[in-house]
Amino acid sequence: MSKDRVVDSLGKIDDDMIQSVEALRQKKKRPAWMKWGAMAACFCLLIAAVAVAPNLFPGTTPVPPNNNDFPIQTDPNQSEGSEHTEGPWNPWQANFNTATGVLDAARRYIPGYFTEELSADEIETLEPGMRIEYMQYSGFAGFDGDGNLIDVCLNVTTSIPNNDVSILISEDGITRDYVMDMAKPVISVCEKVEYKVYQWDNGNGQVTLAADAIINGYSYAFTMQTSTQNVKQAKEDFTRVLECFAYYAEGKPDLSAVVADEIPEWFDKSLSHQEALNDSDFGTFMLREVPSGFVAESIRRYKDQTADYLSGLWTSGYDELWWKVYTLGEADKDRLTSIEDTENYDLSLYPIPRASSVPEDLREIVDNPVFSADELTMDAVWARAYTTGEAGDSDGWRMAFSVRYGDTIVKVRTKGVDPEWVYHQLKNLITE
């Protein structure tokens, strides 16, 4: 199945059903994966990578360069029997299982999802009883729309600048399925904690280190991204972070201590077409007419901590028309293009598969260019139109682009809709 077909098969999923969760987590320094196209985020992502030769740690517990440059520090309140005032700690070896990718099912739609930065007191309840001198903590907590805690993400610095370890902690479990040649991963044990530790090459000079564990009844997912040049030191630092989290004082971590200070306004309303047209914020720029034969599948007015929009999806068999109205954001400004800059939007310049034909520095804007309403032309709309001719699917024109009306964005995605009809709908918004 081609990439464009995958995108289209997911087209009936409103992109922003999940966007609010993922945007918040990425904004808080979660590991980010390369994106091409409009792949719906509510589906699991298979991150393919080129397998590398195993590079497991030899010998006993690794230590940072110069041995004593980063001394072990202890929590004076930690439980009896876990005091380690100086190294070496109990010998253990982190076995890095070589993977070729990961199927991450952690991304999901959570109604009203919002985040808050962790306070110093909240971080203290989550820290293990051990730390390395270079380790500094920050993080955020994620909540549903009613203020119930979903998960906590800690960010821990290492000896390598900008190569931090992200640690996701959840009471409900974290699902990451790794693609490996072997049937089962080798388990690494530190202080009775069983770690499943992995590494894979992202294929772009970057290596991902990951580990999963159950610690004191909570699910932990550790992730670190580094360059191939720093991978040796990164593995040493990553291993020592895992060591630290194997030592907790009694009663820790305490997720019950993490509570929301304020619940942001959020709603998710299903509307009729007329109610959408009457919306006080975005109704002026809602689609006025519907193509013959198309019926409404979903018209929504949504708002949460990061998203505020009005959208509609109409379908006719395999054909579809998706229309979204929201306030101009910084990401939209980065994709603004002049009509003269055809390399930013003319799909005839980039044959399918576009993941290989579009220059990397133009992918975001070519995927979804933003035109100014007063500059939009019929030729520009036709430059966004293409067909695939795939059997068992619509053979009509497909398009995806956005138009700016002052501080408002109208985002359009169609399949099987006449490009000239779409052009006239967009131009009519100026005069109405």
In tens, the pLDDT along 216-252 reads 999 999 999 999 999 999 999 999 999 999 999 888 9
Report the DSSP beta bridge partners of residue 413: 322, 400
3-state class of 240 per DSSP? helix
Contacts of 333 (CB under 8 A, 6+ apart): 370
Under 8 Å CB-to-CB from 166, ≥6 apart: which residues? 29, 30, 31, 153, 154, 155, 156, 222, 223, 224
Q: How many angstroms separate the Cα of 310 from the Cα of each of 148, 194, 273, 282?
A: 26, 47, 11, 6
b vs e for 120-151, b when ≥16 Cβ sit within 10 Å of the residue's Cβ? eebbebbbbbbbbeebebbbbbbbbbeeebbb
List the beta bridge partners of residue 155. Answer: 138, 166
CB 326 within 8 A of CB 306: no
Q: What does the block give as tokens for 51?
A: 């397998």
What pLDDT digit, counting tens, does each position of 50-80 carry? 333 333 233 323 333 333 344 444 444 443 3
Residue-level pLDDT at 166: 97
What tokens appear for 257 in the block?
A: 């201590």
Residue 391: what pLDDT? 75
Determine which helix (DSSP H) or strand (DSSP E) holds 224, and give its type and residue range: strand 218-227
Contact between residue 159 and residue 233 where contact means Cβ atoms under 8 Å apart: yes
Mind giving me the DSSP string for 308-330? EEEEEEEEETTEEEEEEEEE--H
Is the distance from CB of 387 to CB of 411 less than 8 angstroms? no
- Which of 73, 69, 81, 9 is closest to 43 using CA atoms? 9
Planar angle of CA 273, 270, 107, nearest 5 degrees: 125
Do residues 44 and 103 lie in contact, with contact meaning Cβ atoms separated by under 8 Å?
yes
Peptide bond into 353 cis (omega under 30): yes
**Amino acid in the structure at residue 188:** S
Task: Find the DSSP H helices in 321-387.
Answer: 330-334, 354-357, 363-367, 378-383
Residues of the chain with pLDDT below 50 are 1-13, 17-22, 29-89
Read off the tokens for 399. 């398009």
Closest among 31, 169, 44, 181 to 103, alpha carbons compared: 44
Structure tokens of 184? Answer: 């089962």
Model pTM above 0.75: no
* Nearest residue to 131 via CA among 91, 99, 84, 171: 84
Cα–Cα distance between 245 and 131 in angstroms, integer? 9
Helix (H, G, I), strand (E, B) or coil at 128: coil
Q: Which pLDDT score, from 0 to 100, does residue 24 have?
A: 54
